[in-house]
Structure 1
Amino acid sequence: MNRLKRLVFISILSSFPAHGGSLQAQSHNVYGYVKYKGSEEGIPYAYCINLNNRGITYTNHEGFFSLKSNGPTTLIFGFVGCQPDTVTISSLKDTLLTIYLNPHELEEVVVAYREKLHMQTILGKIAVPVSKIESSPTFAGVPDILKSLTYLPGITNGKEGFSHLYVRGGTSGQNLFLIDDAPLFTTNHALGLVSSINTEAIGNIDLYKGGFPARYGNCSSSILDIRMREGSRSEHEYKVEIGTLTAGATIGGPIVKGKTSYMVAARTTYFDVINIPKRIKYLDDLEYQLALQNDGISMISLNAFDINTKLSHQRTQNSKQYLNVFSSNDFYSAYNKSQGSDNNSGFNHHNLLVSAGSRRNYSSSLFVSTSAAYSLYSNTFFNELIYKDERDEHNKSSDQAKISYLSVKSSADYYFSSKMHYKFGVDVSAYAATPNIAQEIAKSASGTLRDTTYGQNFIFRAIHISSYVECEYKPFVKTSINIGLRASTFMDQGNEYIKLDPRVSYKTMLSEKTSLKTSYTLNHQFTHLLLSNFKGNPKEVWILSSHRVKPQEVHQIAAGFFGSGHHLDYGIEGFYKKMYNLVEYRFSGVGQNTGNIYDRISSDGQGEAYGVEFLCEKNSGKVRGTLAYTISWSERSFRDINQGEPFPFTYDHRHVLTLTSSITIQKGWEISSSFRFMSGQAFTLTDGYFAGNESFESHNLYSTINGYRLPPYHRMDVMLTHEWTSEKGSLKHFRLSIYNAYNRRNASYAHVNPSSGKLVLTSIFGIIPTISYGIAF
């Protein structure tokens, strides 16, 4: 087997073209950086057009570019929202340039992608403009990246109100969220009302639904690669935003002018304001006692906070260092007090990400990035019950899970020739997971009745070593190929997995404005997410591949046609995905008081997903919009779930139609809307209940899994935005958002009423208006 893998590796490497030496000898390099004028921040994926051969080159994520020239040439540099700059190069020697583009106010609104879809080699990649997210209607009155992404084809958000992503029939745990090279293990924030990623801190967003480049690993459904923005190196900037549910502030500027800068963005919620009237009322002792005697006293507390901090230092023109820190915390508590008992239950979620790196171009053709990253996610669910009657008991229980990640990686961009661009790198990472620690304590006046800990109070550890090589090759003017190979070794205690992931994307231009693309990718994922429910809130537990749980294996093939014309960008894409070694909680057959989480799961799952996606966009002018439609199928099968028979995936929505629009009424005034229609979500109804015995825990009984469908889901959101500049030069804005504008009561849950035997549908959200006000200076 090892010999076969070496032969595959050698054969793929040998397929990379190796010619071009004579061209390199006759040509010289023009290289450097494209930056914003004033802030000194590099512009990712700015374009550079060589007028001599009409070739187009794009800067990398740091604004670095390198191209070959055979003689004097004229170059045009540009980016959306900036004034293009033209440079004439007469030297025949290697030339270093620093291009400064001046942001300007466009005569007409343009919310354009960095690179047209039909021009990209990678199939399934979307470079998402932050400006488009900012103009989308939102639930909480502030821009939300994850909720905006669900209006793209092939992507849904699962349960209404939550910040999960389900891409092309995959699970939420199969997505890789990267923030400056550090993975984010959960995106749910403030009960899912907002995502944990603050749009104000984002500089650049790349989304991959397929055609995954070899530089990304340990994911199997999608990649969201986010680069946090840097503070200006020339002047200080301040921004404050206050909304109905959240408030935030962003500051940034130079520490050492022209060299070192900082950026800090923080947000918080103030849901506890709703408890103020109750707290004031219960200051009156009579009111307090009456409440205890009648319905009791109940309060819900929710606090959510997140902060992003980034320091960057430009040591030399060719070298830059950065430090990024992200932290978020969620605390929820439901408190109920009566004459007979006190009960308090809730949870605490915590995220911490730290990454530091150095990026440098060592020559006109070689750009190297080195980084270290740390990520931690932990959650604790708790319940406390105090009996104040003759029992006089104090019961406490908690359930905790966490996962941590530490890595060091190095990657390089090598611009071999005008037709060939190599990327290669190595990544060494360590995982530590504690999937389940459950504790129960019961005390009374007579002493301790029970003090028990279930589950693994030890840590599962693993080392993951991976390397990759990929090549962007343009053999002909109308043809480009991205081909790569990723090799991974995953070692836990006493077990080892060695995997090879080949990736290839192919594009051919049918005309100047249309292209045809195909791709094949194989992905192995060594981490697995288990989702359950705690009082209507998702409970997320991560486990690692081991001798009992194999790595997930996902094959995906896709093909699509893309074009541009008449102010429209459009594309139609088909995909087929086959998944192996999926993991899910068992519905039955769990041993009594088992502390081992592996006894509670099935890990032999297979899945199949396929469908067709359509996208049409208009990104310029006073009227802009997006139309997206997806028809898809997704199903699962496990040996010991549903009698081994295939069943629909929970979020198998057959039809998904979304429509977004933004209309500039007049200067400073814009109205935007979004509409979504989805086929009903699959769900399971119970047929009975097993009370448990000495051998097995109690559980519900099912005749079929996901054999029923909720009614179709549809909703419209609208938002009115007004922007203006004050007399002192401050930029202000006001947003009025209306979620679920026509008050559609969409069903989120279903159960059978035991008394009447009738099906009961439960909805969560009706119409919700929110406002926000912001000022930047």
Structure 2
Amino acid sequence: MKRGIFIAIVSIYCLQNAYGQRVTINGTIREDGTGEHLIGANVYDRTAQRGATSNQFGFYSYTTTSTDSVDLYFSYIGFQTQRVAFAVSKDTVLHIQLIPDGLLEEVVVSALSMEQVQETTRMGSINVPIKQIKELPALMGEVDVFKVLQLLPGVQSGTEGASGLYVRGGGPDQNLVLLDGVPVYNAAHLFGFFSIFNADAINNVELIKGGFPSRYGGRLSSVIDVTMKEGNMQEFKGEGSIGIIASKLTVEGPIKKDKTSFLFSGRRTYLDLLARPIIQASSGGNESVGYYFYDLNGKINHKVNDKNRIYLSMYSGDDKAYSRFSNFYVNNNERTDYRDEFGLSWGNFITALRWNNVISSRFFSNYTFTYSKYNFDLFNEYNEQVTGVGKNESNTYSERYFSGIRDWAAKADFEYIPNPDHYVRFGSNVILHRFSPGVYASRSSRQENDLRLGADELNSTEYAVYVEDDIRLNDRLKANVGLHYSGFFTEGQHYNSLQPRIAARYLLDESTSIKASFVTMAQFIHLLTNAGLGLPTDLWVPATNQIGPQRAMQAAIGVVKNIKGFELSAEAYYKTMDGLIEYRDGATYLNLDQDWQNKVAVGEGRSYGLEMFAQRKVGRTSGWLGYTLSNTERRFDEINFGEWFPYKYDRRHDVSLAITHDWKENRDFSLVWVYGTGNAVSLPTQRYESPEFNRWGGMHRSNINFYESRNNFRNRAYHRLDLSFSWWKTKRWGERKWTLGVYNAYNRLNPFFMDIGYDRGGNRKVLQYSLFPMIPSFSYGFKF
């Protein structure tokens, strides 16, 4: 039976290719002046009313049965549409360079040339132009990709100011965050308030929250695919900014013109440098407290020939918070000088080597080899030097708690376009994981043996193969059908999962379509989370003999319409999740005498909702309005008496408005307004006294709080308004730009968390704690 199906599929492809004379036009689409490849650029043949789209590396392939001529339109948002018409008689290589256009208003050809949102099979997929990301208001003036993604329907931030993403009821660990194709395990800076992505070094950002294509796997809730710039092939360029908490600089240019280019980008905060002299002066020079983070991005792009290209990219970033104190004392004619340092640090290192190969005019391949590392380190070091008459002695003591994950990976991806009605993708990958799920170590010069507690390192292997086809069945019906098979070897256990995926669209008319999708997902790694701030103490752990993988199913249906440059959509979804883990009541990562597998409960989750979205990407005024109505619940046998309870970040109503307006030639204005009903919190409903005996036999009474159920109360509604105003001027050396912004413009005291406390009269009451008042910011940007 299976053999017959395979033969039938091969026969169909052979017949399709044998029917009529087929001519293929292929090449790359790039930005004029920089050589940067344009991802998702559109190719439209007005004669045949068919087209193609460029892939992640700017490659496109269009096959036509016409033996006369083609009338091709090449287009990309923010660029001038280019028309190329010529007679075709054989396969042709055609490279296109599009010219940027600062303000691209709608024109007649744009409706013909661009693949509209209603025509694609993709569901729950949103692409935000980098220009909009940079223009929207930013917390403390620091442009942040994740902050912008939080404004999209179906995506929540968790807590005030945090950069974590909670997509359709999932947790941060269920997001596949890719930087140039490499998974990022902790994408947060400043305890979760900023992400690691420097917008100046980014070429494209795509969020997929449903209808996942088969080429993605390993997570349950979303894919955030971030692609770095490739580097200017034509001339040396740079840009940067100076803000109130951080500065950054990006430079790019040709190593060999039209052959090899480079990109380098760096960012660093200077909170520690500004605060250090103040703290040292107040402590007499004995104490130093600080915090900083930095990012470094680098990329080399080498064009071997028209069919082969090699990329080498890297990212390195660290956060460090520390407190140092030094002093001395004298006792019995002996002087003791001591130094005590406490701190924590965490960071990522990522590198990727890619090889693109155009095998033929219809066949494209990409091979990727990657290494990534995430480490968290909590440390305390004490050193003393004792000197006196005939005495010189040194003593040291150190404590350290560390965890992390390291990956070595390889993958091969192939794209085959036999004709305009099929776009076939297939490939495979393998990842070698090494987990360090929390180790405590101490060392003292006064002890012979070191102390070491916690779990040992654990090696695991994850692999996957996939195939998918974007099929045009007729002029109205198109579908993306695929399979993703993945497996996981750990501790002698083999888990595997076969995940069918399908997404389809049906055109009601030329501007309206109905879409539906059904996907299954599997995730073989877990994140043990202690708090909602994205703290680095969260531990990555694998599926084991005792704790299985996470699995999910998601179904969605929606309608999409394009009206005069506005993309309108409404999408309903239902999602179930199994194999979720959570710390049992009272357990934390610091219970080092227990294995983490004995500290967690395993349960399930469900989420369903309706998302509405209106977006405009071009014109003087652009932006979007989004609304989400949703419900998310969890259930664990050992938590909340086995009953369903609201997820901590369940939010019934969520509204976001983001607008950018270029109101003059050298000025722009933007605003963001968000509203959301309160997150769920656990608060006690009763309190009673309980007698306790101490070790001397005495008795005292202590107060015990009783929680009726998990997450039984709601915070107040959250809302705020952010504003930003920029103006720039062209100089002989380039361009300079000033930006003024206000976060929380009307000074709303939004809830950060709630707890039981006391008012001024000594009465117990529920207290709200807020974090950010109105915060003004400014930054100076430049380009050269």
Partners of 1:11 and 1:575 in 2: CA distance = 36
Matched, 1:712 2:717: yes
Identify the match of residue 769 of structure 1 among 765, 773, 776.
776
TM-aligned CA deviation for residue 600 of structure 1: 1.3
- Give yes or no for contact 2:164–2:534 (8 Å, CA) kept in 1: no
Identify the match of residue 737 of structure 2 among 733, 741, 746.
733
Identify the match of residue 585 of structure 2 among 584, 587, 596.
587
Matched, 1:326 2:328: no
TM-aligned CA deviation for residue 416 of structure 1: 1.5
Partners of 2:378 and 2:450 in 1: CA distance = 17
Identify the match of residue 303 of structure 2 among 295, 299, 314.
314
Which residue of structure 1 aligns with residue 628 of structure 2? 630
Partners of 1:653 and 1:491 in 2: CA distance = 37
- Give yes or no for contact 1:659–1:675 (8 Å, CA) kept in 2: yes
- Report SS of the residue matched to 1:651: coil
Which residue of structure 2 aligns with residue 747 of structure 1? 751
Which residue of structure 2 aligns with residue 168 of structure 1? 168
Which residue of structure 1 aligns with residue 62 of structure 2? 67
- Give yes or no for contact 1:12–1:485 (8 Å, CA) kept in 2: no
- Report SS of the residue matched to 1:753: strand
Which residue of structure 2 aligns with residue 641 of structure 1? 639
Which residue of structure 2 aligns with residue 757 of structure 1? 764
Deviates more, 1:377-386 or 1:661-670: 377-386
Partners of 1:641 and 1:522 in 2: CA distance = 27
- Give yes or no for contact 1:486–1:501 (8 Å, CA) kept in 2: yes
- Give yes or no for contact 1:151–1:658 (8 Å, CA) kept in 2: yes
Identify the match of residue 398 of structure 1 among 389, 397, 400.
400
- Report SS of the residue matched to 1:83: coil
- Report SS of the residue matched to 1:539: coil
- Give yes or no for contact 2:205–2:224 (8 Å, CA) kept in 1: yes
CA separation of 1:15 and 1:188: change in aligned 2, threshold 3 A: farther
TM-aligned CA deviation for residue 204 of structure 1: 1.5
The root-mean-square deviation of aligned C-alpha atoms, in Å, is 3.2
- Report SS of the residue matched to 1:143: coil
- Give yes or no for contact 2:78–2:104 (8 Å, CA) kept in 1: no
Which residue of structure 1 aligns with residue 191 of structure 2? 191
TM-aligned CA deviation for residue 54 of structure 1: 1.0
TM-aligned CA deviation for residue 478 of structure 1: 1.5
Identify the match of residue 497 of structure 1 among 495, 498, 509.
495
TM-aligned CA deviation for residue 488 of structure 1: 1.1
Deviates more, 1:115-124 or 1:757-766: 115-124
TM-aligned CA deviation for residue 46 of structure 1: 1.1
CA separation of 1:487 and 1:188: change in aligned 2, threshold 3 A: same
Counterpart amino acid of 2:77? V
Partners of 1:17 and 1:54 in 2: CA distance = 27
Instruction: Spell out, residue by residue over 1:720-774, the C-alpha distance to the aligned partner (whole angstroms, 9 max, x if none).
Output: 1112211x15122111111111111111112212764222211111111111111
Partners of 1:748 and 1:204 in 2: CA distance = 32
After TM superposition, the structure 1 = structure 2 runs for residues 431-510 of structure 1, keeping only pairs within 5 Å, are 431-440=433-442, 447-448=446-447, 452-456=451-455, 458-510=456-508
Which residue of structure 2 aligns with residue 673 of structure 1? 671
Instruction: Spell out, residue by residue over 1:682-708, the C-alpha distance to the aligned partner (whole angstroms, 9 max, x if none).
Output: 1123568999999xxxx9974421111
Counterpart amino acid of 1:631? L
Matched, 1:382 2:389: no
Question: Unpaired segments of 5 or more residues in structure 2?
Answer: 330-337, 386-393, 696-703
Matched, 1:519 2:512: no
Counterpart amino acid of 1:119? E
- Give yes or no for contact 1:16–1:471 (8 Å, CA) kept in 2: no
Deviates more, 1:329-338 or 1:626-635: 329-338
Which residue of structure 2 aligns with residue 597 of structure 1? 596
Counterpart amino acid of 2:429? D
Counterpart amino acid of 1:454? L
Identify the match of residue 19 of structure 1 among 8, 12, 33.
12
**Percent pairwise identity:** 29
Which residue of structure 2 aligns with residue 4 of structure 1? none
- Give yes or no for contact 2:651–2:679 (8 Å, CA) kept in 1: yes
Matched, 1:565 2:563: yes
Identify the match of residue 363 of structure 2 among 341, 363, 366.
366
CA separation of 1:84 and 1:211: change in aligned 2, threshold 3 A: same
Question: Unpaired segments of 5 or more residues in structure 1?
Answer: 1-6, 290-296
TM-aligned CA deviation for residue 175 of structure 1: 0.2
Matched, 1:36 2:40: no
Counterpart amino acid of 1:211? G
Partners of 1:536 and 1:753 in 2: CA distance = 25
TM-aligned CA deviation for residue 399 of structure 1: 1.9
TM-aligned CA deviation for residue 235 of structure 1: 0.5
TM-aligned CA deviation for residue 246 of structure 1: 0.7
- Give yes or no for contact 1:45–1:114 (8 Å, CA) kept in 2: no
After TM superposition, the structure 1 = structure 2 runs for residues 81-160 of structure 1, keeping only pairs within 5 Å, are 81-106=78-103, 108=105, 116-160=116-160
Which residue of structure 2 aligns with residue 683 of structure 1? 681
CA separation of 1:539 and 1:124: change in aligned 2, threshold 3 A: same
- Give yes or no for contact 2:77–2:617 (8 Å, CA) kept in 1: no
Which residue of structure 2 aligns with residue 578 of structure 1? 576
CA separation of 1:372 and 1:593: change in aligned 2, threshold 3 A: closer
- Report SS of the residue matched to 2:119: coil
TM-aligned CA deviation for residue 387 of structure 1: 12
- Report SS of the residue matched to 1:705: coil
CA separation of 1:710 and 1:465: change in aligned 2, threshold 3 A: same
Partners of 2:751 and 2:320 in 1: CA distance = 27
TM-aligned CA deviation for residue 483 of structure 1: 0.5
Deviates more, 1:308-317 or 1:533-542: 533-542
Instruction: Spell out, residue by residue over 1:586-607, the C-alpha distance to the aligned partner (whole angstroms, 9 max, x if none).
Output: 11479975241111111x2100
Partners of 1:299 and 1:567 in 2: CA distance = 55
- Report SS of the residue matched to 1:675: strand
Instruction: Spell out, residue by residue over 1:626-668, the C-alpha distance to the aligned partner (whole angstroms, 9 max, x if none).
Output: 1111010001011111121111101001111111112223111
TM-aligned CA deviation for residue 277 of structure 1: 4.4
